[in-house]
Structure formats: structure tokens, C-alpha cells
Amino acid sequence: MSDQGELFEQGNLYRDEFISAASLLAFDRFVRFHNENVFVYRRYSAIAFEAIQSGADYLGSKAIWERLRLDIIKSTSEPNARAVNPDTNKRFKLCNDYTPYYARLWVYRNPKFKGKFRKRSSMADDISESNFLAACR
């Protein structure tokens, strides 16, 4: 089985004809990362809610991501060390490419706060809400 669109080949999602191969590949990479590192989303979500409770009118996924990075650096004893998944003990990297996917996933799971994120257009926009929710644990 190829890496490209593995989720779609397994029949986990339905492939829309208008979605580009690049969008499918990027989404597939995000879903794999997310499902292997679910705690990243939990921390992302906690930071987003913390910002809302502090009175933030708008949220930026990149700002949340950088705060998440800082939290990981603080929790690691080695400088410039990669993060370690506490569930699997595997090392991972917080790739900037995932920030638009996390923003959309967070909004889909928290529709009450739909207007809180200022989002740029992204390949993540090519993926429907139902596909996001079906693919992400």
C-alpha cells in the first residue's frame, strides 16, 4: 500500500473527486500524526481554552503551536531535544504544516467557538468536516 492517501485506500474515508492529490496527501500525513500523538491535540485544545478564558477575542493556530512547542521544551531536560510521546515513548516533531489542520479540527469539535479562529486559506479547507471528524480520534 502506498503512503499517498493510505486512509482512503483502506476505505476509512470517501474520496471526493474535486480534492487534489496534494490535499489528500497532506491530510493523510496530518491524520497519521494526530492519531499517533493524540495528546498533542489535547494540549492544543487546553491552550486554546486557556486563551479564551483569558479574554482573547481571536485565536491563531500558529500562536497555539508555538506555545505548545515552548511547553515541550520546558518539559524536556535536554536542549533542542525532540518531543517524546508519553503514551508510546516515540520521538516526534511538531511540524508547522499541521497548524491549519488542528485549527479546523478544534473548530469542528468546538462549534460554539467557530468565530474565534482567524484562518488563512489552506489545503485543509479541501477536506470536509465529516472527513475530519471521521479520520481523527
Whether 7 is in a domain gets the answer no
Number of domains into which the chain is organized: 1
Question: CB within 8 A of 28, min separation 6: which ones?
Answer: 3, 4, 5, 6, 7, 8
Whether 8 is in a domain gets the answer no
Residue 1 has pLDDT above 60, yes or no: no
Domain of 76 in residue numbering reads as 17-135
Whether 98 is in a domain gets the answer yes
Q: What is the reported pLDDT for 120?
A: 84
Residue type, 65: W
pTM for the complete prediction? 0.81
pLDDT tens by residue, 17-72: 566 788 889 999 999 999 999 989 999 999 999 999 999 999 999 999 999 988 88
